[in-house]
Amino acid sequence: MLENLTFVEHFQIWLRAFLILSLFSFLYKDNIFYKFSEHIFAGLSAGYYVGLIWRSVIVQQLINPMFDNSEWWLVFPGILGVLMFARLKPKWTWVSRVSLAFVIGNTAGIYLISSLHGMIFKQIAPMMVSVNQGDGLEKILLALLVIVGVITTLVYFYFSKEHKGALGVTARVGIWFIMIAFGAHFGYTVMGRISLLIGRAEFLFYQWGGSLTQIF
């Protein structure tokens, strides 16, 4: 598979390997190779997102609709976008607050609806499972566990009354559910990072290693 690679393709493999190993060198200590790779990654990411926003937002959603479809009302969001750059001038920073207020209000309204439908309602739905459907002891216990977990977690965040007595016991049970949820999310994140590590290790072992054996 690596026998027919050109010089440019071999160079690309070696460059990727150098950048990966430079990032891994931080495990030893902070060094110039790590900083070099870090700055390249940050610069490429910034440049990529600038180009992405220019093409997918400014060109496709502002310029093209205005000049191709005569949607001239888009000049108003365009002006709001331009006002955001007023923050570059300290004495004109207050002008950008108009755009920021519009963006924050609009975003809050959109995410409020999406969060209700995508998160809150989705998390409430499992609590609506009937425990009398005769689906077996396992599903009944699971439904009861979900109900107890939700109620005790909500009680933990009830700060209007001191957590003493039955309220305190219920809140402590809620803490256990919260810690279990945090642990599950942390484990999921770790597994995701490990999969990335495995991908880079496979690249170094197979592609860079194969290129290394061909050259030497």
> Encoding tokens for residue 64?
């093209």
> Encoding tokens for residue 95?
């002008």
Q: CA torsion 90→91→94→100, rounded to 10°?
A: -30
pLDDT of residue 34: 94
pLDDT of residue 88: 86
Q: What is the mean pLDDT of each run of 10 residues along the chain (216 residues)?
A: 74 91 91 94 94 91 89 89 87 88 88 80 68 64 83 88 88 94 93 92 86 71
Left (φ > 0), alpha (ψ -120 to 50) or beta: where does 173 sit? alpha
pLDDT of residue 3: 65
Place of tokens 């755009």: 99
Left (φ > 0), alpha (ψ -120 to 50) or beta: where does 6 sit? beta
Q: How many helices (H) and strands (E) does the chain have?
A: 9, 0
pLDDT of residue 130: 57
Cβ pair 152, 168 in contact under 8 A: no
Cα–Cα distance between 14 and 204 in angstroms, integer?
Answer: 9
| CA dist list (Å): 2 to 61, 205, 208, 210 | 43, 13, 10, 7
* pTM for this prediction: 0.64
| CA dist list (Å): 153 to 50, 141, 172 | 42, 18, 9
Crossing angle between the packed helical segments 93-115 and 75-83, to the nearest 10 degrees: 120
Cα–Cα distance between 7 and 59 in angstroms, integer?
Answer: 37
